[in-house]
Amino acid sequence: MVFPAFLIGCSEDTIDDTGLGTITGKVVELGSNEPVENARISTNPASSTVFTDKNGDFVLNDIPADDYSIEARKEGLLTQFEGASVMGDATVNVIFEMQTETSGNRPPGTPTAVSPVDNAQDVEIPVIFSWTSTDPEEDDLTYQLEIRNDQDEEIFLFNNIRDTTYTVEGLDFGSKYFWQVRASDDVNQEVLSRLYSFRTMNVPESNRILFTRIIGGNSVIYARDMEENEYQITSPNKNSFRPRKNNSGNKIAFLRVVNGQTHIFTMNQDGTQQRQVTSDIPVNGFNLNQVDFSWANDGATLLYPNFDKLYRVNASGGGTALVYQNQNGKFITEVDVSEDNETIALITNNSSGYNADIFTINFDGNILTQVMNNVTGALGGIDLSIRGDMLLYTQDVSGYESNSYRRLDSRMFLYNLVTGETTDLSLRKPDGTNDLDPRFSPNEAEVVFVNTSNDDISPRDIYTIRLENFNTDNESRTLLIENGFMPDWE
């Protein structure tokens, strides 16, 4: 907008159209009329170049009389032009109303689901989400994917997605989820899709092997069927470990960290209906990565340690009761109960994990068999046979002890509770490695266990060996699962 400013005098006082004039002006934002400071003002034909002050004002002095195109330019705003005719000894005033560079930019189109389609059933895990969305100006779009289930308040939120396809791991099997996508062009308000739902597939009933794997810094529980298919059954957002299956109750018990405490949970074989069992008295010991618990009473109860005490709790929760207390002050680290519910095997040790014992008791707390007593180095991995006459365990035969509980030569042993005979099952263990966490297979023809480097930082793998006619010559270590630990085979 141009406003000429001059005085009208006598007829002989004519305006000089060959002299020098002045251009004044103001720059504001369109709509708000807020002053625009530091806008660059220039002319064509070229003359002076100035910048607006804090009030958005500017002055161009000594401008030769002529017709000009005046330009106002500032980063983030659309460049504006105004015409002005400058006359000698006269002032012309120009006002610029500048718009943002994105003025007139239209929002993206509403995202539309491609997969999973609304109300989809038996969706495979991990879930591949895809959608469509376009932008009228072909702006680069980013997306936010939000996923909720229908059971609790857990939310999966994924931001700054650049593609229209995104793969999500960690969703539960056999669960219903709702999902929604937001599209943003970084100019307009986000555009929200409608809400879609789907249900994930159920875990097959044929899963026999459970194990733990680290995902994103948390321990996550997996199931594996005999066709070597693996299924993630706990969320990577929660620290869950040490799975123990009970076929009678068709449930899996496991440990999970909740608000800094470790508690026993149970769930269905597919990971659904996860329920906290312990409450006031958590699971505890010298090292929670070494602590173990056991099913008892045909799946009706669970036994677990809390420092020097052994407790029983109902599998449905409640009914917590003290079963046994160690009289020498040593911590109970591991417990296993025989199938006939007659024998309890225990590992106890001092607060550093050493000076360890292995012994069996009955439910009256009477000691039945002293297997190991005040051992130097680490003990672990107890598992009773079905008849309760054989006991698996591990021992670091190097006798090494350290604050980090590092083991240098942990080997598996099979102890006969009737004859007192001990068999070394790690005759072909590679040097510099540890055998850990042994468990009998369901038919007790094999032992499943973990082997890993004794550097304490290398990956852990799960192997099996056969027990039938075991000797040095026929020991065969078969790799079962890579990058897994804490196995359970029922």
Q: What are phi and psi of 44, to 5 degrees?
A: -135, 115
HEC string of 291-313 equals: CCCEEEHHHCEEEEEECCEEEEE
Q: Name the residue range of residue 432's domain.
A: 209-489
Tell whether 236 and 195 lie within a shared domain.
no
Do residues 348 and 484 both lie within one domain?
yes
Whether the CB-CB separation of 285 and 350 falls below 8 Å is answered with no
CATH number for the domain including 158? 2.60.40.10
Q: Are residues 232 and 369 in the same domain?
A: yes
- Does residue 318 sit in the same domain as residue 363? yes
pLDDT tier at 15 (50, 70, 90 boundaries)?
A: very low
> Are 69 and 139 part of one and the same domain?
no
- Answer whether residue 106 is part of any domain: no
Whether residues 153 and 38 fall in one domain: no
CB 83 within 8 A of CB 67: yes
Burial degree of 144 (CB within 10 A; 0-12, 13-18, 19+): middle
Instruction: Say if residue 247 is in the same domain as residue 376.
Output: yes
Specify the pairing of strand 127-132 against strand 91-98.
unpaired
**Amino acid identity for residue 66 in this structure:** D
Residue 103 lies in a domain: no
Task: Please state the length of the chain.
Answer: 490
pLDDT over 60 at 180, yes or no = yes
Encode 52-83 in three state secondary structure: CCCCCEEEEEEEECEEEEEEEECCCECCEEEE
| Position 260, amino acid | G
Q: What is residue 375's predicted lDDT score, i.e. its pLDDT?
A: 95
Cβ contact 303:338 at 8 Å: no
CA triple 97-98-100, angle to 5 deg: 145
Q: Residue 303's pLDDT is what?
A: 98
Q: What's the number of domains the chain is made of?
A: 3
Q: What is the average per-residue pLDDT within 290-317? A: 96
- Alpha carbon dihedral 389, 394, 398, 404, in 10-degree steps, equals -140
Tell me the average pLDDT of the chain: 91
Whether the model pTM is above 0.85? no
Nearest to 238 by CA among 204, 269, 263, 203: 263
Tokens of 179: 């999902």
Q: Is residue 107 part of a domain?
A: no
Q: Are residues 311 and 191 in the same domain?
A: no
pLDDT at 12: 42
Last residue of a domain, one of 200, 225, 257: 200
Domain CATH for 284: 2.120.10.30
- Residue 429 within a domain: yes
The residue from 168, 200, 232 where one domain ends is: 200
The rounded distance, in Å, linking the Cα atoms of 379 and 356 is: 7
pLDDT at 471: 62
CATH number at residue 12: 2.60.40.1120
Q: Is the pLDDT of residue 7 over 60?
A: no
Q: How confident is residue 205, by pLDDT bands cut at 50, 70 and 90?
A: low
Q: ∠ CA(131), CA(132), CA(136), 5° rounding?
A: 150
Q: Output the CA–CA distances (angstroms, integers) from residue 136 to 19, 105, 161, 217, 229, in the order listed.
A: 50, 8, 19, 42, 45
Q: Residue 394: is its pLDDT beyond 70?
A: yes
**Distance separating alpha carbons of residues 21 and 44, to the nearest angstrom:** 15
